[in-house]
């Protein structure tokens, strides 16, 4: 089973690229972020025509997450628990039946947090990460495969960016941000890409400005974080870097994990 995450940066603007990638690669579950669309405006028919179920948690013009799946979801949670006043659409979670039991997948669009000295934006990012950790810890008690897939807006380590000095004061790379990300790891979650490769220059995002793509000045901020039960089934990961060179690309590319859920361990 192939499970992917992709910050699409506007699903209507990238619908041709999305349809092409779905047709060419045929992932089983795709977690989209930054769809920038209300639920009723999502191009559902175009995706359903390719054999996918569509679940969205949209927001007009900003944010928004979705899960596309060949399997029909049995339960869907929209919104990250822990703050009833949070109106930003950044989290959707779905449950699927698989031969080995149950699979739970979440699409996450973690706040950017910049500028890091902003009295609202960066505290909101850290508070959101705290809520995510608390929710993830509760989900771990279910002892089922769980994939927390998304744009985390976190550069975990210096080798996950082209030039650490350029990011030292950025909300994506501040010590508090990286510590909050490590909290997930300390709970027992595995960074799928780093579980399968220690290569440098593995990036998932290249800015539109200053020739970042052409110079390979990228960062790795899109992650598949796996519960122990999901990590045990991980076979391989890949980063679809070629998608960044397509016409009208997103500044992010898909990250894909391949899993063996065919039977019980």
Catalytic residues: 109, 151
Per-residue pLDDT, 235: 97
Within-domain flag for 142: yes
- CA–chain centroid gap for 258, Å, is 15
The C-alpha atoms of residue 109 and residue 91 are separated, in whole angstroms, by 6
pLDDT digits (tens, 9 = 90+) for 230-252: 999 999 999 999 999 999 999 99
pTM equals 0.97
Within-domain flag for 264: no
The beta strand positions in 71-208, using DSSP E, are 75-78, 91-98, 101-109, 146-151, 190-191, 205-206
Within-domain flag for 251: yes
CB 97 within 8 A of CB 72: no
pLDDT digits (tens, 9 = 90+) for 150-166: 999 999 999 999 999 99
The C-alpha atoms of residue 69 and residue 164 are separated, in whole angstroms, by 36
Q: Can you give the CATH number for the domain in which 117 is found?
A: 3.60.10.10
Per-residue pLDDT, 100: 86
**With 0-12 CB in 10 A as exposed, 13-18 as middle and 19+ as buried, what is 11?**
buried
The C-alpha atoms of residue 205 and residue 33 are separated, in whole angstroms, by 13
Average pLDDT, the chain: 97
Per-residue pLDDT, 14: 97
Within-domain flag for 107: yes
Task: Give the pair of three-digit tokens for residue 62.
Answer: 């900003």
Q: Where in the sequence is the domain holding 82, given as residue range(s)?
A: 2-259
Number of domains in the chain: 1
Within-domain flag for 265: no
pLDDT digits (tens, 9 = 90+) for 5-41: 999 999 999 999 999 999 999 999 999 999 999 999 9
Low-confidence ranges of the chain (pLDDT < 70): 263-265
């Amino acid at each position: 089973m192939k499970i992917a995450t992709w910050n699409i940066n506007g699903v209507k603007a990238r619908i041709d690229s999305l349809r092409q990638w779905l047709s060419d690669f045929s992932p089983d579950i795709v977690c989209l972020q930054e769809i920038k669309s209300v639920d009723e405006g999502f191009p559902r028919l175009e995706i359903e025509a390719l054999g996918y179920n569509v679940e969205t948690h949209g927001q007009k013009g900003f944010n928004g997450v979705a899960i596309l799946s060949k399997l029909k979801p049995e339960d869907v949670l929209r919104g990250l628990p822990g703050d009833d006043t949070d109106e930003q659409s950044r989290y959707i979670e779905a449950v699927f039946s698989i031969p080995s039991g149950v699979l739970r997948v979440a699409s996450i669009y973690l706040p950017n947090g910049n500028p890091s000295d902003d009295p609202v934006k960066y505290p909101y990012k850290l508070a959101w990460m705290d809520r995510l950790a608390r929710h993830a810890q509760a989900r771990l008690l279910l002892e089922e495969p769980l994939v927390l897939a998304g744009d985390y807006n976190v550069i975990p380590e210096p080798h996950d960016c082209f030039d650490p000095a350029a990011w030292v004061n950025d909300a994506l790379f501040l010590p508090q941000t990286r510590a909050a990300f490590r909290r997930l790891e300390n709970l027992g979650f595995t960074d799928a890409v780093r579980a399968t490769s220690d290569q440098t220059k593995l990036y998932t995002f290249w800015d539109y400005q200053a020739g970042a793509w052409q110079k390979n000045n990228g960062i790795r901020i899109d992650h598949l974080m796996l519960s122990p039960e999901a990590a045990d089934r991980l076979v391989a990961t890949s980063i679809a870097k070629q998608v960044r060179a397509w016409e009208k690309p997103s500044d992010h590319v898909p990250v894909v994990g391949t899993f063996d859920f065919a039977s019980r361990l």
